Chains A and B, each alone.
Chain A
Amino acid sequence: DVKVTQSSRYLVKRTGEKVFLECVQDMDHENMFWYRQDPGLGLRLIYFSYDVKMKEKGDIPEGYSVSREKKERFSLILESASTNQTSMYLCASSLTRGENQPQHFGDGTRLSIL
């Protein structure tokens, strides 16, 4: 079974802090994704990566950046955290380039910015 591990389940930070959310997958998947989940809005794509050091913006990239230095690890960075970034963040991975590939999700990080 694929395992996608997010480093923290709950995180509390202050406005203006630089915040790192870490995600690791153990199945040599090519693609990795970061979504944020808000009530009534479903999941919205922040960034994704299809290879090491490669990244593409999703639908809501403003205020975020990402890093993928190794294939198994994909980090989401909040450069200067703001209260409107309080949300549930979900990491996912999928095997190959094909769009018919299902995504495998971590358990999420619930981030509160005070």
Chain B
Amino acid sequence: AQSVTQLGSHVSVSEGALVLLRCNYSSSVPPYLFWYVQYPNQGLQLLLKYTTGATLVKGINGFEAEFKKSETSFHLTKPSAHMSDAAEYFCAVSGTGRRALTFGSGTRLQVQP
């Protein structure tokens, strides 16, 4: 079985500050990892994904994430927050023979002016 833990259901940062959203996973096999963003009243949009290869993955809107196998982590970062980054972010994992994703509980990012 696989699972995802997102530490912090709410994160608040100032505009221009570093964004760090934490994701830890458990999986019995090498995982595929995803970050999605959900803006109010919308579906989920893919930010980035790790499948194989380079462990530092760059995504859209200036976000990136690093796969650290030894720490079973896939934290999402952005050097400088923008007001438009305010949204809910979901980490997800797949890779144990089930085609569906297993999602974390989500982190709501608030950006203060």
Question: A: which residues have CB within 8 A of B?
Answer: 4, 9, 31, 33, 35, 40-45, 48, 50, 58, 90, 92, 94, 97, 99-108
Contact = CB atoms under 8 A, between A and B. Distances in A.
Given A40-B9, A99-B95, A102-B34, 6 more contacts: A42-B90, A45-B102, A48-B99, A99-B32, A99-B99, A100-B49
Chain B interface bracket (under 10, 10 to 19, 20 to 34, 35 or more): 20 to 34
Interface string B1-14: 00010100100000
Contact of B42 (A35, A43, A107): A107
B113 interface: no
Contact of A50 (B42, B43, B99, B102): B99
Contacts, number: 65
Contacts of B100: 33, 45, 48, 58
A101 B51 CA distance: 9
A108 B44 CA distance: 9
Main secondary structure of the interface of B (DSSP, over half): loop
B94 A100 contact: yes
A42 B106 contact: yes
Given A48-B100, A99-B94, A99-B95, A107 B105 contact: no
Nearest to B29: A99
Listed residue (B97, B99, B102) with the most chain A CB atoms within 10 angstroms of its CB: B99
B104 A42 contact: yes
Nearest to A30: B99
A14 to B, nearest CB: 24
A31 to B, nearest CB: 6
Interface string B88-108: 001000110111111111100
- For the complex of A and B, list the 4 residue pairs with the smallest distance between their C-beta atoms, beginning with the closest: A105-B43, A100-B51, A42-B105, A42-B103
Nearest to A46: B100
